[in-house]
Structure 1
Amino acid sequence: MYHLIRLRWGLAFYTGLFIAFLYGPFVVMGLISFQQGPEGGPQFPIIEWSTFWYQHVIGIAPVSRVAPLPIGEALFRSLSLAFATMVVSTVLGTLTAQAFRSKFKGSGFVFYLVVLGMMVPGVLLGLGMALVADQMDVARTWWGTAFLLHVVYTYPFAFLVMLAIFNRFDKSVEEAAWMLGVPPGRTFRKVTFPMIFPGVLSAMLFAFTLSYDEFPRTLFTGGSEVTMPIAIYGTFAVEIHPNLFAFGVLTTLFSFALLTVYGVLMGMSTRRSRLRTSGIQEDVA
């Protein structure tokens, strides 16, 4: 009994250290972002609290020696690239996982071929794509070569998420619809897709966030029009100012907002799936 108590306290202590290590940088970033402007770099403790650097990020602060962050067009590129990657990767992942519901020859080889995109280091893959593009005289752009690598990277994650969802899927629901004479296409739209929609949301979230934050693959293949992570890195490499931390806080809050929307949609989808399962015969008739 004594050893069990010690084990619990040890696990609790380890969990606390892990949480502190995970969220400590965000707390420090948030504190430094509220320091006084317009002069000076990061400093702690805070002498005077201010929201100057948040105003600086959104462009309403007075003119100072600190240049605005080059995030306008870069942020648009990152969001556009992440959205396009999310759509393509989720569709490909869902279709591939659907195919793996039935055994076929060479399925093991295809499986490892798909997940290879997430196993190869991003630096090597980006460098390889850059060399291939140069040899073929193809321009490196964020909407072309970088988009292709983003899909190669995020597609396996979407596939694995959907594969787990389909492994827990009750095939008897589809079989009931087929016995009622419902065509396969209508069965997928009216029965299968509503039930796997929580998994689709998870795959979309994975693909979007991974693409939005992707750095090494984009660095080698994005061309001269940089995305947000590369633009932030270029600023960070020259000189650090609190506007970077203010932007980091806003970006984190944006991520939390996405998670909130994801949670709401997940809850709505789960409730609808339960209702649809209970009245499946009326729905597909």
Structure 2
Amino acid sequence: MQSAVMKPALALYTTLFLVFLYAPFAILAILSFQTGPEGGPQFPIIEWSSYWYQHLFGLAPPSRVAPLPIGESLFRSMTLAFMTMIVSTVLGVMSAQAFRSRFKGSGIVFYLIVLGMMVPGVLVGLGMALVANFFGIDRHWWSTAFVLHVVYTFPFAFLVMLAIFNRFDKSVEEASWSLGVSPARTFRKVTFPLIFPGVLSAMLFAFTLSYDEFSRTLFASGRDLTLPLAIYGTFAVEIHPNVFAFGVLTTLFSFALLGVYAILMSLSVRRARRIAIQEE
């Protein structure tokens, strides 16, 4: 009886959660197809048009709505996210590897790492700005903002890899060592292929968190704006439909990243299974 009640309740809860999660995107997509060149959201749609998508790429006739500054800011955000992804993932793998063995002060080090994701971004960004001003350091997206992004995303990569290593069968490495293979070669040929799905997850976490980061970047990026800051500056006074169109394209880009992640994950899982079968 209890199971018969719980299943419909859980199904209803899941449905409502998905509606709550994706309803804003659906509304965003609908509003992005209103006609131009006048700005401002209107609902219901009087006339459907792809004007605002053309406006994003400079293909539409001039209007009172200025184009979004997505050129250089998009390049900065993508570059910053890529740099953060590489550094945070490498640090996460190395730190999780170190925590596979007990060492003195491991508890303190663990909480110091996790602290980076717990401290509010406004406080960290403001603190970085004050420290930079005190020492006369110029703030840039590739220096001070980059450091804050790594501090913020590194704990996520670390926790992902820590979970992966907690389920890792160490006997596979011991078998390789017993055959005279060096630890470095064992990690490269045996360990890394098996933990590669976790590495992909850590990379995805670091990239998406850095790409969308606002509060920490606001205080640490200096004059050069990243994409979230540039978009925020355009609709601080009035929201135009070109922002909706760009939001749809950004969301589709995120879904594309998830698709690539799923493909790479399936390939890595198949490879890990082949390695396990060969070892057996």
The two structures have a TM-score, normalised by structure 2, of 0.98
Give yes or no for contact 2:69–2:231 (8 Å, CA) kept in 1.
Answer: yes
Aligned to 2:195: 196
> In structure 1, what residue type is equivalent to 2:95?
T
Aligned to 2:212: 213
Could you tell me how far 1:13 is from its partner in structure 2? 2.1
Could you tell me how far 1:113 is from its partner in structure 2? 0.4
Identity of aligned residues (%): 73
Give yes or no for contact 2:39–2:65 (8 Å, CA) kept in 1.
Answer: no
Aligned to 1:236: 235
Determine whether 1:83 maps to 2:82.
yes
Q: Aligned partners of 1:55, 1:163: CA distance in 2, in Å?
A: 46
Determine whether 1:256 maps to 2:261.
no
Aligned to 1:54: 53
> In structure 1, what residue type is equivalent to 2:79?
S
Could you tell me how far 1:39 is from its partner in structure 2? 1.0
Q: Aligned partners of 1:144, 1:280: CA distance in 2, in Å?
A: 45
Q: Aligned partners of 1:74, 1:14: CA distance in 2, in Å?
A: 39
Determine whether 1:106 maps to 2:105.
yes
Q: Aligned partners of 1:5, 1:275: CA distance in 2, in Å?
A: 41
Could you tell me how far 1:4 is from its partner in structure 2? 3.7
Q: Aligned partners of 2:213, 2:169: CA distance in 1, in Å?
A: 36
Aligned to 1:8: 7
Structure 1 residues 29-178: aligned runs within 5 Å: 29-178=28-177
Could you tell me how far 1:62 is from its partner in structure 2? 1.3
Deviations 1:126-184 (A, max 9, x none): 01111111101101110000000000000000000000000010111101101111011
The two structures have a TM-score, normalised by structure 1, of 0.96
CA RMSD between the two structures: 1.0
> In structure 2, what residue type is equivalent to 1:271?
R
Could you tell me how far 1:219 is from its partner in structure 2? 0.1
Gaps of 5+ in 2: none
Aligned to 2:179: 180
Determine whether 1:270 maps to 2:269.
yes
Q: Aligned partners of 1:61, 1:192: CA distance in 2, in Å?
A: 53
Could you tell me how far 1:40 is from its partner in structure 2? 3.2
Secondary structure in 1 matching 2:236: helix
Q: Aligned partners of 1:128, 1:224: CA distance in 2, in Å?
A: 17
Number of residue pairs matched by the alignment: 280
Aligned to 1:223: 222
Deviations 1:193-214 (A, max 9, x none): 0100000000000000000000
